[in-house]
Structure 1
Amino acid sequence: MTQITLVLPFALPPPELAPDLARALQAPALSALLTRTASHTVTTFHPGARALPHELWLARALGLPAGENCPFAVAAMRGFGLDTGDGTWFIVNPAHIEIARSHLSMNDPRRLHLSEPHARALFESAKPYFDEIDKPLLYGDANTWFMRADAWAELDTASPDAAAGQNVTDWLPSGAVAAEYRKLQNEVQMLWFEHPANLARAALGQPPVNSFWPWAPASQRDAPAKPGALASINCPPWLTAATGRAATTAPQFAAAPGSAQQATQLVVGSLGEAAIAADWSGWLMQMQRLEQELFAPLLAALGRGAVSRIDLVLTRRDAQATFATTKMSQRAFWRRPTLNRLLP
């Protein structure tokens, strides 16, 4: 029978808000999945880590080398159908960096809403600057570009999810060649300052694309060692490309778990945008939707024997909680379903 793993980045709320959010959330199926378990583990992480727990989980699932740099670039390039060749590649995300009261902050790239024409125009204008210093730039989609930078292989980078909303100075790429990166960044920022695409975005009330964010350096030796039954829903384009397949919708996945057309490991990215923005009413709405479309149908599939085991991997910036449940575990009627385990 089928075993299902659900990975839910940002499903663990901040400890100071968790009691109130757990009380507000009406999710009996999730409560049963979290409470009536065969095993339950919690792992803590440093809040300043440059890769978040769900990204480290994904790297392991793909069989990539361990480490905070999470070498996703080659896996994502293959997902976009790009030739990786030799050398070291970085994922490059167009970005908006703004001046907060006391520091610089990078917006969540999910909220950039960069159109294909504007992205292409910005890409084509910046590409000669990259080419001039032997850092070729390739286009994946509006939000996902790739840079070959063999000499920058040791650059210490952070993922956009780790850096978004933080003091960006603490998260900028660092290392012996960081000054070269900053020089290129400054040149591109000046190029884009009054770029027609940004002027058009301003007219639409959208923030300018005024920087780029390189991360996830990888080479051919970092190609995924475990391609296969891994899919994603509502995730950033790089993640969907790296997994190699996107599930259609949560309801369709839950309706036929483990069928020939379905992956048995699913990364669900529905909560990231709200959590990073500290939009907890939006987070609750997304959790309620997942309760109806995913948790309840999968709990029913477990009850009728269509699924033998469900593993839930819930994360926040500094913690990961893993829950395993089976049909037998769900018979533990003396364990009253509760969402208290959202409070590790």
Structure 2
Amino acid sequence: MALPLSSTDLLIPFAGRRSSACAAALATLQLPNLDALLTRLAVAHDDTQADTTLTPPHERALARALGIDAADGCIAWGAREAQQSGLSRAGADEPWAVLTLCHWQVAIDEVVLDDPNDMAIDAAESQALLEAARPFFQEDGIVLRRSTAPGRWLARGELFRGLPTASLDRAAGGPISAWAPLSDVLKPVRKLQNEMQMLLYTQRVNDERIARGLKPINSFWLSGTGVLAQGTPTAPAPTVADVLRAPALHDDGTAWAVAWQALDAGPVAELLAAYRRGEPVELTLCGDRAARHFAPQSRGALGWVKNLFGRTQATTVLAAL
């Protein structure tokens, strides 16, 4: 499987993963192109934080590349998408959020958020539920709008101003209590989620999904909250290669390794070829804790000595993420 590369600035989320199966798979990975590329690049920026941050490293790295400066859990992806789609004007002081329809799996002692990417929600289902949910949100001063992705809505309301929320990529596959605690600041969100759970239980959409053997849509996850600061520069976005996401969240070490080999044979190999042609290349590798941005290092004598004696296997770099 070859994955195309559309630019010489590549960002790879979930490049390192500390879950058991992926960590075990890492030890067996052979990534010759990444090995070769990393010997030619140096760390230009290192963002290492605890793996309990609401915003994962790859979202912090993407925000930095786009010139967005925000506190943890407050990268305004909703406001950015609203501006890009024409729902909000550039520079508007409007708080937005992203609402992602999902399935909460209720266990004996916890509630687990299933990855919404596994839900197979179509556009008709998303629109039908949006129309049913709109009055409930309007009562709290929240306006709902559809986005370009089925099962994903944009919401505008003062509730989202300065409200830190956990990224879906942090919460998916785990207990929601770890990422949405029963705190005072999140009480209005929990109220909306409870109302939506009761509403969704009655919807024909879910009856039809269950009849087709699909999981019902029984809640939503809130993320991407905040206001996009005025004067945020418009920077070109890097190419985001997200093929590691699904196997990482499911801790499928075999699939994660296969996806990494495809990356190495595709986008990473192309990035290496671009470097050899003398083009400026950039690479950002992201894991559970860290995002490390690599750029070409000095080709002078000192840089060559550093390169010669400082070679590190790619898997060692990935394990440290």
- TM-score (norm: length of structure 2): 0.84
**206-215 or 96-105, which deviates more:** 96-105
- What's the CA shift for 1:176? 4.1
State whether residues 61 and 226 of structure 1, in contact with CA within 8 Å, keep that contact through their aligned partners in structure 2.
Answer: no
AA partner of residue 87 (structure 1): E
CA shift, 1:63, in A, is 2.3
> In the TM superposition, what whole-angstrom CA distance separates every residue of 1:186-216 from its partner, at most 9, and x where no partner exists?
1111111131111221122221111112222
Change (3 A) 1:132 1:282: same
- Paired amino acid for 2:212: L
Distance in 2 between residues matched to 1:51 and 1:223, nearest whole Å: 21
Change (3 A) 1:338 1:151: closer
What per-residue deviation string (whole Å, max 9, x for no partner) do you get for residues 243-263 of structure 1?
A: xxxxxxxxxxxxxxxxxxxxx
- Separation (CA, whole Å) in 2 of partners of 1:134 and 1:39: 46
Selected match of 1:12 from 2, 16, 37:
16
- The answer on 1:50 being equivalent to 2:54 is yes
Q: Which moved more, 1:118-127 or 1:35-44?
A: 35-44
Report the residue type matching 2:282 in the other structure.
D
Whether 2:53 is the aligned partner of 1:82: answer no
Q: Unpaired runs of 5+ in structure 1? A: 231-264
Equivalent in the alignment of 2:102: 95
Within 5 Å, give how 1:254-273 maps onto structure 2: 265-273=238-246
Structure 2 match to 1:25: 29
Unmatched runs of 5 consecutive residues or more in structure 2: 1-6
2:294 partner letter: F
How many residues align? The count is 305
Q: CA deviation at 1:312?
A: 2.0
Aligned to 1:340: 316
1:38 aligns with 2:11: no
Equivalent of residue 286 in structure 1, options 244, 249, 259: 259
The secondary structure found in structure 2 opposite 1:47 is: coil
Question: Compared with structure 1, are the counterparts of its residues 39 and 125 closer, same or farther at alpha carbon in structure 2 (3 Å cutoff)?
Answer: closer
Asked whether 1:126 is paired with 2:102, we answer: no
Letter in 1 for 2:114: N
Matches within 5 A, 1:1-344: 4-14=8-18, 20-39=24-43, 43-68=47-72, 69-83=74-88, 86-100=93-107, 102-140=109-147, 141-172=149-180, 176-219=184-227, 221-222=228-229, 225-230=232-237, 265-305=238-278, 307-308=279-280, 310-325=281-296, 328=299, 335=311, 338-344=314-320
Residue pair 2:106, 2:112 contacting (<8 A) in 1 also: yes
Cα distance in 1, alignment partners of residues 164 and 183 from structure 2? 6
Q: Look up the equivalent residue of 2:83 and give its one-letter code.
A: R
The farther-off stretch of 73-82 and 316-325 is 316-325
Is the contact made by 1:65 and 1:71 (CA closer than 8 Å) also made in structure 2? no
Report if the CA contact (8 A) 1:108-1:165 is conserved: yes
Seen in structure 2, the aligned counterparts of structure 1 residues 209 and 298 have a Cα distance that, compared at 3 Å, is same
Aligned AA for 1:77? A
Is the 1:89–1:146 contact (alpha carbons within 8 Å) kept by the matching residues of 2? yes
Distance 2:56 2:23 in 1: 23
Over aligned residue pairs, what C-alpha RMSD do you find?
A: 2.8
